[in-house]
Amino acid sequence: MNYSAIRNLAICVWSVLAFVLTTVAANSEPGNVEQGEAVYIKRCLQCHGDEGDGLGPAAEFLNPPPRDFTLGLFKFKTTAFDEDLPNDEDLLRMIRDGMPGTAMPGWSDMLSEQDMIDVVAYIKTFAELEGEPESQLDYGTQVKTSDESIAAGKILFEEGDRCTECHGVEGKGNAIKKLKNDNGERTWPRNLTKPWTFRAGNDPKKIFARVSTGIPTTQMPSFSDPKSSKKLSIEERWHVANYVASLAKVENVVNPENFVIQADRLESGLPTSPDDKAWKDAPSSTFIMVPQIVGKQRFFLTANDTISARALYDDKKIAIYLEWDDRTKSIPGDAKAASIADENLSEDAVAIQFPLTIPEGMEKPYFLMGDSTNPVSLWRWSSGTSEQPETGTIIDAKGIGDQQPRDDSGDLSIASSYLNGTWRVVMTRLLTTETPENDLQFEEGRFVPVAFFAWDGSNSEAGTAHAMTTWYWLQLKPAADSKPLIYAIIAALLVGAMLFWWARGAQSRNKVNA
Ligand code: HEC
Ligand code: HEC
């Protein structure tokens, strides 16, 4: 191809490109307020309200509540911290992707880009937001993540209680004090180890923006505000952002494909304390918990969202280890707990639900505490009060309205520990009991349905107000299982080795023969 042919081709490509670009530009006109209103009425009104004041019919069930657009204040923006106006792109991003951990859904599957641009133009009219933002967030030069940067970020995070004041030493958002938003509603600092709950993304650039602008209308402050005694330079904010990104949990993360807790068999000596090192080697399964909204006294605003379970057994007993992040250690009667809690402080609690018999097929009792023909039993641990130690109780249940705690919980034993926003509880019971008509009898190899319930006593959770999982499975893995596998591997290795020596031998035999 000669020079002019290349030039003609380039002109040709350029004209096509220019055509495409102009059509795209023509398609994404600035938002059309009228069309935006139509989108709003159809999709946004039920939460944000017809006046844009956040008081739609669904709002009373939601925490955090839907944004009141009449205030013109947005939480997640990339304009400078003292600039009230967000960029249109900031609002578009929240509408497109939604806000994890809140009821605000992402709309990219349902609305076209132009619909979203139109609705942005419309929601800005509620507070008569006009004109362009004047000052943008200064990102400076990004400091790439590294061990050094993360270490520097950790120091800044803790120095003078800068972030730990609200987010706790390990960043789990365990409450040290009561926080409220500008509306007087209770808010919680984010659990920074659960990046999937970040409203506006958890890559260092997004975290940098949060640390720089703060989260308007909440107590999360701006650390670029020159008036702040705890302010950070651009470089320091990058270190903090890299540190926060490094806190993301890698263990105890929900894997939607995992339905089975595998209990390993130990020869003897089950760990009874949650601190025992033996738990480290037991496989962990993490499940989502949702609010109990089926039975009477529905409760929408539960605080605990996931629970992790491990199990071990020996020839006599089974021990189940539960771990969940709970921002508050709820001990009624304790002054510190009371200062953080909502009005009705009760004990933290957790329960493991089993059917009374191992089902033959996939049939399981009703997931919410069984029913009259398929009762369940619950092993329940409660954190205790300032006067009474923790307790373990077995509850026989035939539905949420029919729960009978036993006076005698047999050999059920419990142990717990609370540290930096995490409860860890171990419950142990005999595999088989003397009252098989009342208790599940565990059997090696069989799959047993299991479900979990949790109460955060500082969040007014008691009785039927709690978080819960659906049914999962627990399997007591037969110890014999692993032996044939090991023998199979050894046999394969032996065969491989023999073939190798035989081949070497054959080679040298051939050499001798040659
Ligand atoms: C099911 C309820 C629900 C619906 C439907 C809903 N939202 Fe929201 N929206 C929320 C909640 C809750 C929040 C507040 C989240 C928070 O404060 O962290 C919110 C926040 C927002 C924000 C604020 C973002 C910020 O940075 O402060 C915008 C913008 C928004 N919604 C736009 C929309 C638009 C546009 C629609 C319709 C296409 C819509 N929402 C539909 C519940 C909803
Ligand atoms: C005075 C209390 C307070 C302090 C100090 C504080 N935060 Fe926060 N932080 C909050 C609250 C409250 C929220 C949740 C706001 C909401 O409701 O959306 C939050 C949310 C966050 C989020 C979540 C962003 C998202 O997209 O969801 C990050 C990240 C964060 N803080 C990091 C930090 C870092 C890093 C520091 C220290 C440099 C810090 N915070 C200091 C109270 C605080």
Do 27 and 20 form a contact (C-beta atoms < 8 A)? Answer: no
Do 151 and 145 form a contact (C-beta atoms < 8 A)? Answer: no
Give the angle subtended at the CA of 501 by the CAs of 499 and 504, to the nearest 5°. 110
Atom of ligand 1 nearest to the CA of 73: 27
Distances (CA, A) of 365 to 298, 375, 443, 454, 471: 21, 7, 19, 19, 9
For the chain, the residue count is 514
Q: How far is CA 249 from the centre of its chain?
A: 9
Do 330 and 347 form a contact (C-beta atoms < 8 A)? Answer: yes
DSSP conformation letters of 188-225: ----TT-GGG-TT--SHHHHHHHHHH--TTSS---SS-
**Cα(28) to centroid(ligand 1), Å:** 22
Question: Best substitution site from 46, 85, 99, 185 to test ligand 1's pocket, by max atoms within 8 Å of Cβ?
Answer: 99
Q: How far is CA 327 from the centre of its chain?
A: 13
284's tokens: 């962990």
Question: Which residues, other chains included, contact 61 with Cβ-Cβ below 8 Å and sequence gap of 6+?
Answer: 300
Neighbour-count burial of 64, counting CB atoms closer than 10 A to its CB (0-12 exposed, 13-18 middle, 19+ buried): buried
189's tokens: 């600092």
Phi, psi (deg, nearest 5) at residue 56: -65, 170
Do 291 and 467 form a contact (C-beta atoms < 8 A)? Answer: yes
Q: First vs last Cα of the chain: how many Å apart?
A: 61
Question: Best substitution site from 190, 212, 239 to test ligand 2's pocket, by max atoms within 8 Å of Cβ?
Answer: 190
- Ligand positioned closest to the Cα atom of 237: 2
Atom of ligand 1 nearest to the CA of 107: 38
Q: Are strands 260-265 and 306-313 parallel, antiparallel or unpaired?
A: parallel
Residue 326's CB is within 10 A of a number of other CB atoms, namely 24
466's tokens: 């709690």
Question: Best substitution site from 53, 77, 104 to test ligand 1's pocket, by max atoms within 8 Å of Cβ?
Answer: 104
Place of tokens 């369940």: 376
Q: Which amino acid is at 494?
A: L
264: nearest Cα among 79, 6, 475, 1: 475
pLDDT of residue 172: 93
Question: Which residues, other chains included, contact 228 with Cβ-Cβ below 8 Å and sequence gap of 6+?
Answer: 221, 222
Residue 142's CB is within 10 A of a number of other CB atoms, namely 14
Question: Which residues, other chains included, contact 247 with Cβ-Cβ below 8 Å and sequence gap of 6+?
Answer: 170, 171, 192, 193
d(CA 68, CA 217): 11
pTM, entire model = 0.84
Question: Which residues, other chains included, contact 203 with Cβ-Cβ below 8 Å and sequence gap of 6+?
Answer: 245
Do 382 and 393 form a contact (C-beta atoms < 8 A)? Answer: yes
Mapped onto helix, strand or coil, the DSSP state of residue 455 is strand
Give the angle subtended at the CA of 440 by the CAs of 453 and 467, to the nearest 5°. 5
Question: Best substitution site from 150, 166, 231 to test ligand 2's pocket, by max atoms within 8 Å of Cβ?
Answer: 166
**Cα(303) to centroid(ligand 1), Å:** 20
Atom of ligand 2 nearest to the CA of 202: 26
d(CA 32, CA 431): 67
pLDDT of residue 494: 58
Question: Which residues, other chains included, contact 256 with Cβ-Cβ below 8 Å and sequence gap of 6+?
Answer: none
**Cα(192) to centroid(ligand 2), Å:** 9
**Cα(385) to centroid(ligand 1), Å:** 40
d(CA 52, CA 36): 13
pLDDT of residue 477: 92
Q: Sort residue 369 into left (φ over 0), alpha (ψ -120 to 50) or beta.
A: left
Do 315 and 340 form a contact (C-beta atoms < 8 A)? Answer: no
d(CA 220, CA 217): 8
85: nearest Cα among 207, 178, 216, 206: 216
d(CA 94, CA 75): 10
DSSP 70: G
pLDDT of residue 290: 87
Residue 141's CB is within 10 A of a number of other CB atoms, namely 8
* Residues with a CB atom less than 6 Å from ligand 2: 64, 75, 157, 162-163, 165-167, 179, 187, 189-190, 192, 198-200, 207, 210-211, 215, 218-221, 223, 240, 244
Question: Which residues, other chains included, contact 108 with Cβ-Cβ below 8 Å and sequence gap of 6+?
Answer: 96, 97, 116
Q: Which residues in the chain come in under a pLDDT of 70?
A: 1-29, 480-514
pLDDT of residue 361: 74
pLDDT of residue 350: 98
Mapped onto helix, strand or coil, the DSSP state of residue 106 is coil
Residue 38 CB–ligand 1 contact under 6 Å = no
User: Helix 204-213 to helix 234-246 angle, to the nearest 10 degrees?
Assistant: 120
Name the β-bridge partners of 96: none
